[in-house]
């Protein structure tokens, strides 16, 4: 888990989430116009409170507070006292004002004064949580946010904030509960999913972790998620790079993951090593677009690969198909099919993969890897239902079953 935890920290973006920008703000619009409606209001109160409101509208904060203080001794009743305190909140808590302690004090005094409409009390509670957070008082921010959720049902931002704090405290179960509420609120972001993934990893609930990746990778279109899902193939008990590493690169390409130059080189070499020259040549074309120096450095190799690919397209593929019919097992049919797959002749690839599976005489792992590739040919050939059925039949623990799982996810993207 230490190694995995390090990988998680390297792969997943930060899960920072603040409240101040999303929860509440102060403005003149949040000041209840109660004072003018009270016929019993004293002249001094009305004049000063109106002047204070005008100053707030002009963003003249010190003047607004001065006029509110002047109105305060003439306030009569909870409603007028509340109007004074609302002015002070508006003048202390505008988003441009970073005096968090002053804002917090103003809100607390306004709430203590009473007489606030429910909508303004809710807004103040949300502002208070944000200001506690921005002032560095994480404990009070969390307590206030939880109270807000209990009182008002909670916003996506509030649930996510609680989840982040629970994650930091290593209360992983609490983080999962809170972030799932945030996710269910609609339009979740990578930050939300990163919290969920980290919380599952913290509990070593890797089944839930990878089920989440299967679910979100197709919809999020995020290279990091695809990589973590697809590269999980290498953790299978009997995985061998010689057998399935090329299939990992193929899955990444299909998922539109941007392969690094060294990965493209490894892919080209893996294809060449299995005599899939057309795929090797295609991969060198991709390398040329991102690393021309690599092509120049390996010019003799690249020229030879392209020459062999041209020969295979002209006569070699037909010859390999004929030779495959004479073999005792189906592997040669599989190699020929992979070349047709690289060529883009999906119907022929499907036919040869099926002939290879029918001939058999291969171990279960080889059979299931061939099924994965058959599914790819079916999927690329427009036979998605057949591909799904093929992939769902794969069970081998040499990476084949996991590759099939990733292709099922790719098909949903």
Q: Identify the residue with better confidence: 33 or 83.
A: 83
- How do residues 337-381 score in pLDDT, each as one tens digit? 999 999 999 999 999 999 999 999 999 999 999 999 999 999 999
**Sign of torsion over alpha carbons 9, 10, 11, 15:** positive
Residue 110 has pLDDT above 80, yes or no: yes
The pLDDT value recorded for residue 220 is 95
What would the pLDDT profile of 43-89 be if each residue is shown by its tens digit? 999 999 999 999 999 999 999 999 999 999 999 988 899 999 999 99
pLDDT at 62: 95
CB 275 within 8 A of CB 331: no
**Model confidence at 412, in pLDDT bands (50, 70, 90)?**
very high
Spatial distance between the Cα atoms of 330 and 307, rounded to a whole number of angstroms = 27
**Measuring CA to CA, which residue among 203, 256, 204 is closest to residue 225?**
256
3-state secondary structure of 198: helix
What's the predicted TM-score (pTM) here? 0.83
pLDDT at 114: 87
Predicted local distance difference test score (pLDDT) of residue 175: 98
At 17-31, the pLDDT tens digits run 455 444 444 443 444
Cα separation, 28 vs 198, in Å, equals: 41
pLDDT in tens, 275-299: 999 999 999 999 999 999 999 999 9
Domains along the chain with CATH numbers: 2-16+170-228 (no CATH), 28-154 (1.25.40), 236-410 (1.25.40.10)
Min mean pLDDT across 32-36, 55-59, 315-319 is at 32-36
pLDDT (0 to 100) of residue 95: 87
CA distance 162 to 395: 40
Exposure on the CB side of residue 306, measured as CA atoms within 13 A: 11
- Distance, in Å, from the CA atom of 359 to the CA atom of 278, rounded to the nearest integer, reads 25
Query: Cα separation of 202 and 8, whole Å?
Result: 10
Q: Nearest-5° angle of CA 88, CA 94, CA 95?
A: 155
Tens-digit pLDDT profile for residues 225-271: 999 999 999 999 999 999 999 999 999 999 999 999 999 999 999 99
Q: What pLDDT is recorded for position 375?
A: 98
Asked if 140 contacts 112 with a C-beta cutoff of 8 angstroms, the reply is: no
Which band of pLDDT confidence, cut at 50, 70 and 90, is reported for residue 309?
very high
Residue 16 has which token pair? 């920072």
pLDDT band at 153 (very low <50, low <70, confident <90, very high): very high
Q: Structure tokens of 182?
A: 């945030």
With bands split at pLDDT 50, 70 and 90, how would you rate the model's confidence at 40? confident
SS3 378: helix
Q: Please count the helices (runs of H) and the strands (runs of E) in the chain.
A: 24, 0
């Amino acid at each position: 888990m230490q190694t995995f935890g390090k990988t998680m920290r390297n792969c997943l973006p930060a899960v920072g989430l603040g409240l101040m920008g999303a929860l509440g703000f102060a403005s003149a619009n949040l000041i209840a116009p109660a004072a003018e409606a009270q016929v019993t209001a004293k002249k001094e109160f009305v004049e000063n409170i109106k002047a204070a409101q005008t100053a707030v509208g002009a963003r003249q904060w010190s003047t607004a507070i001065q006029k509110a203080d002047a109105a305060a001794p003439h306030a009569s009743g909870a409603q007028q006292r509340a109007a004074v305190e609302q002015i002070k909140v508006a003048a202390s808590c505008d988003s441009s004002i970073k005096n968090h302690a002053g804002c917090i004090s103003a809100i607390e005094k306004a709430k203590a004064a009473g007489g606030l409409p429910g909508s303004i009390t809710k807004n103040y509670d949300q502002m208070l949580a944000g200001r506690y957070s921005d002032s560095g008082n994480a404990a009070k921010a969390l307590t206030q946010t939880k109270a807000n959720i209990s009182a008002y049902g909670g916003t996506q931002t509030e649930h996510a904030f609680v989840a982040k704090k629970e994650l930091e405290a290593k209360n992983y179960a609490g983080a999962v509960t809170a972030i799932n509420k945030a996710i269910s609120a609609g339009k979740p972001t990578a930050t939300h999913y990163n919290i969920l993934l980290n919380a599952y990893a913290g509990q070593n609930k890797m089944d839930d972790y990878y089920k989440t990746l299967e679910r979100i990778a197709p919809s999020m279109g995020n290279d990091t998620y695809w990589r973590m899902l697809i590269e999980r193939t290498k953790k299978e008990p009997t995985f061998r790079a010689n057998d399935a590493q090329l299939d990992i690169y193929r899955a990444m390409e299909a998922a539109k993951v941007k392969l690094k130059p060294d990965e493209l080189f490894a892919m080209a070499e893996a294809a060449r090593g299995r005599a899939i020259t057309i795929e090797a040549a295609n991969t060198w074309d991709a390398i040329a677009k991102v690393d021309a120096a690599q092509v120049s450095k390996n010019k003799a190799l690249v020229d030879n690969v392209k020459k062999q690919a041209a020969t295979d397209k002209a006569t070699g593929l037909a010859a390999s198909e004929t030779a495959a019919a004479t073999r005792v097992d189906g592997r040669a049919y599989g190699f020929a099919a992979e070349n047709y797959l690289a060529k883009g002749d999906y119907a022929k690839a499907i036919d040869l993969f099926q002939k290879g599976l029918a001939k058999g005489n291969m171990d279960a792992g080889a059979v299931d890897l061939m099924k994965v590739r058959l599914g790819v040919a079916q999927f690329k050939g427009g036979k998605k239902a057949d591909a799904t059925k093929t992939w769902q039949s794969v069970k081998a623990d040499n990476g084949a079953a996991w590759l099939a799982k990733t292709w099922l996810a790719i098909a949903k993207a």
